[in-house]
Structure 1
Amino acid sequence: MQSRATVLLWHAGSTIAYVVDDLSSSSTGSYSLLWSGRMQLVGTCNGLLCLCDDGGSITLVNAATRETLPVPRRPPCAGQLFGEDRRWHREYNFAYHPTTGRYKVVHVPCSFNRVRDAVHVLTLGEEAWREVPAPGNRRCNLDGGIVSVDGVTYWVTDGGGTARIISFDLDSEHIATSTTPLPFLPARHNDYSLTEVHGRLGVIVSNPAGMMQAWVQNKEGRWICRYTLACPMHEIPRPHFAYGEHFLKCEGQLLYAYPRQGALSPFGSRLASNILQVNHRDKGVLVAKMNGVGWRFNYRTFAYVKTMEPLSIYMRPQKCASIC
C-alpha cells in the first residue's frame, strides 16, 4: 500500500465505488462517488479498476478520466459453474509487478466443489491468455479470496483436509504450493480470508475463542500474529483492512479507522510483540457513514490512487515504468 492511497469502498449490491479521503481523527465521516456501473469489481492497481461482467468478460476503467477498455476475452473453461451464479469476479485477480511494470489479470478457474489443475493469465498489451499448469488433486477455496502482494498472487487450497497457500509469481509465472500447512486455519472455509497487511501477505482467521486474529508473513516466511480483534468476521472489511497507519473495522453502515501506532487509548491496547487488541467497545474514528440500503455485509475495501494516464498506454507490450 502506498501512503497516499485512499480507501475505495465497493458496494457489491449496487456495483458502486466510493472513496474515503480522510482516516484521521478529524474525519467528518464523508465519502464521494468514484464509479458506478453494472459490473463487479475484481481489484485496483495504480488507479485502474478491473471489472467483470456476468459472463466473465473483463473491462479496465480509469475512473478519473472515465475511460473504459475491454481486454481480450478468456477462452471458456469446461464445466465452469460460476457464470450461472454471477460470481465470476471471485475467480479473478488484477495484479501489478513492481519490477517489470507489467499488469496481469489472473484467473483461477475453480468452483468450490470441483478440482482444477490450471490457471489462466493475461498480460496487458498481449492478445492472448496463457494457461499455466497448477498442482492437481487440490480444491481451491475462493471464499478465502485471491490477493496479490509484491509481485506474487496467492490463493488457498484445502486438499486432503490440510489448507495450504498457492503462490503464483507474476514475473516467472511459476506456481508453487507452500510446504508448511497452516495449522491456525479453521476447518470452515468462511472463517478465514487472505489479505495484504503493509506490504506483506496476511490472513484473517477466527480462533476457537471467537476472536479474529490477523497473521502476517515476515521476510523469513514465518507467520506472526499482529492484531487480535474481538469482533465478528463480517466486521473486518476485505480484502484489505490495513491502510498506512490505520486499520479498518465496520459496524453495520459505519466504517471506523483505528491507529496502528502511537498512543492507542481509547481505540485499543498494545499487548506484546506489536500485537494490537481491539474489543467490541472500541469505536475508533468514524470515517464513513454509508446511507445506502443493504450496506451491511455487502461491501469490499481496496486501495485507490488516482491517475490521469490514458488507458491506451497500459495495452502496450512490455511496459516497464511504474506510475506509483
Structure 2
Amino acid sequence: MAMDDAAGCCDLPTDVLVEILLRLPPSSRRRARLVCRHWHDVVSEHTTEMRSRAKALLWWNAVAYVVDDLSSSSTGSCRELWRSDGRSKLVGTCNGILCLCNNEEMTGGAITLVNPATKKTLPLPLLPCADKFIGHSRSRNWDEAYSFAYHPTTGRHKVVHVPCSFGHVCEFNGVHVLTLGDTLWREVPTSLEGRARCNLGSGIVSIDGITHWVTKGAATRVVSFDLEDELITSLTELPAQPAGPDHARLTEVHGRLGIVTHDRSVTTEVWIMEKGRRWSRRYSLRRQYLPWPHFVYGEYILTREESSLHVHHRRRGPSLSGEVVQVGQRDHGTLVANMKGANLYSQCRTFAYVETTEPLSAYEANKY
C-alpha cells in the first residue's frame, strides 16, 4: 500500500493503534511507517522507538555528546559518547551507528563506521577516484558531500556521495552509492546535465530510503534520490526564496523532509513537505537559531545561541494539527550544553541517536 493512500488505515483510534504498534519489534514498526501517512505520523510521534528512545546527539570539536533525557535536561545531562582522533567529522547516524569521514588531505575522505555502545569501528572502501584529489586543500570538507542512510523496506544501510564540486579542483558529476556489505561503490549517472549538483552549504538528509539535497545555481531545487531504485525521483522548488544560497538548510521533522530558511537577523522558519509535495510552514522563530541538521525530538525542540544549546517543550499542541509552532525571542528554554569558544559559524551539529548493541561485523563485506 502506498504511503499516501490512507484509505482503510485510519479507522482505528490513535491510542489503540499506538498500543498495537508498541507490541511489534522495532524493525516492524519502522516498516509500518510506510503503510500510510496516518501510520507514519503515529509511529514517528507516539511510539517509544521513534520518540522516547531517540536522544539528542551533539557533535562538537570531534567529540560526540548525548543528552539522555530532554525532559529533565541540564548541562549535567550532556555526557560524552564518543571521542574521535580529531581528524574526522560526523556525517550522520543511523540505528545507533555513527558514520565518520576523515577530512585530512591525504585520506581521500575515508569513511569509518562506529558503534559507541560496543566501541567497535569498521572502515569502508574508499570512494572511487578520491585518490586523484588527495593532497588538495580544497578537499578538507569531504564530509559535506556524504549522507548515511537506511532503507526501511530492504533493511539495508547505504552511504551516498552526491554530485558536487570543491572549487574547480574536485568535481563529481554522478551519485555514488555504497551498500554496507558490498566491496565496491556504484556510480549512478544523473542525466540532468549538471543541474543535480549539490549546494553543500544546504546539507544532505536521508529519510525513509530517500536522500535529498539542494541544487547549486540560479534555478535552485530540492533533489530526491530513491535509494531502492537508485534514481532521482523528483526536483522540487523551495518553499520560499532564502536570503542567500547558504540561508536554506535541509532537516528532518518527525520523519518528513523539512527545510529551514532564515534571513540575516530576525526570523527563522521551518517548512515541512506534505502530501502532494506541498510545503507547509510548521515552525517560526524570532531571533532564535536552530542547530543543524536535526532539531526536533518528539515533544522537544533545540535552539542554539552563540555557544550554547537550549531545549524547549512544544506547547502549542501536536504537530499533526498543522498549527505553526512559535518560539519567541524571550523564550530561552533550558540549557542543554555549553560549547566554549563556539560561535554561530562553528561546526556544531545535532543528530538523533538510538543506542544499539548490534555488532558492526554484520556490515562487513559479503556478510549479507
Task: Give the TM bin, normalised by the shorter chain.
Answer: 0.7 to 0.9
1:146 counterpart residue number: 204
2:95 counterpart residue number: 46
2:176 counterpart residue number: 120
List aligned pairs for 1:194-273, cutoff 5 A: 194-207=250-263, 210-231=266-287, 235-262=289-316, 273=322
1:311 aligned onto 2:360: yes
Give how far 1:317 is off: 5.1
Structure 1 pair 217–149 and aligned structure 2 pair: CA distance change class (3 A) = same
User: Which residue, 106, 109, 130 being the options, matches 1:56?
Assistant: 109
Structure 1 pair 262–33 and aligned structure 2 pair: CA distance change class (3 A) = same
- Structure 2 distance, partners of 1:79, 1:311, is 29
1:174 aligned onto 2:231: yes
Q: Which string of whole-angstrom CA distances, capped at 9 and with x for unpartnered residues, describes residues 120-161 of structure 1?
A: 0000001100000112232420100000011100001134x1
Q: How many residues align structurally?
A: 305
Structure 1 pair 81–183 and aligned structure 2 pair: CA distance change class (3 A) = farther
Give how far 1:288 is off: 2.5
Q: Runs ≥4 in structure 1, deviation > 6 angstroms?
A: none
Give how far 1:220 is off: 2.3
1:23 counterpart residue number: 70
Q: Percent identity?
A: 50
Structure 1 pair 318–150 and aligned structure 2 pair: CA distance change class (3 A) = farther
- Structure 1 distance, partners of 2:264, 2:80, is 39
- Structure 2 distance, partners of 1:223, 1:83, is 39
1:193 aligned onto 2:249: yes
Amino acid at match of 2:176: H
- Structure 2 distance, partners of 1:246, 1:15, is 25
Amino acid at match of 1:195: T
1:32 counterpart residue number: 79
User: Which residue, 134, 145, 150 being the options, matches 1:91?
Assistant: 145
- Structure 1 distance, partners of 2:134, 2:110, is 15
> How big is the alpha-carbon RMSD for the aligned residues of Structure 1 and Structure 2?
2.6
Which structure shows the higher helix fraction? 2
- Segments of structure 1 that go 5 or more residues without pairing to the other structure are 265-269, 320-324
Instruction: Give me the TM-score of the superposition, normalised by structure 1.
Output: 0.86
- Structure 2 distance, partners of 1:95, 1:118, is 18
- Structure 2 distance, partners of 1:308, 1:6, is 16
- Segments of structure 2 that go 5 or more residues without pairing to the other structure are 1-43, 45-49
- Structure 2 distance, partners of 1:82, 1:280, is 45
1:69 counterpart residue number: 122
Q: Secondary structure at the match of 1:90?
A: helix
Q: Which moved more, 1:251-260 or 1:48-57?
A: 251-260
Structure 1 pair 211–129 and aligned structure 2 pair: CA distance change class (3 A) = same
1:293 aligned onto 2:347: no
Tell me, yes or no, if the aligned pair for 2:269 and 2:285 is still in contact at 8 Å. yes
Give how far 1:112 is off: 5.6
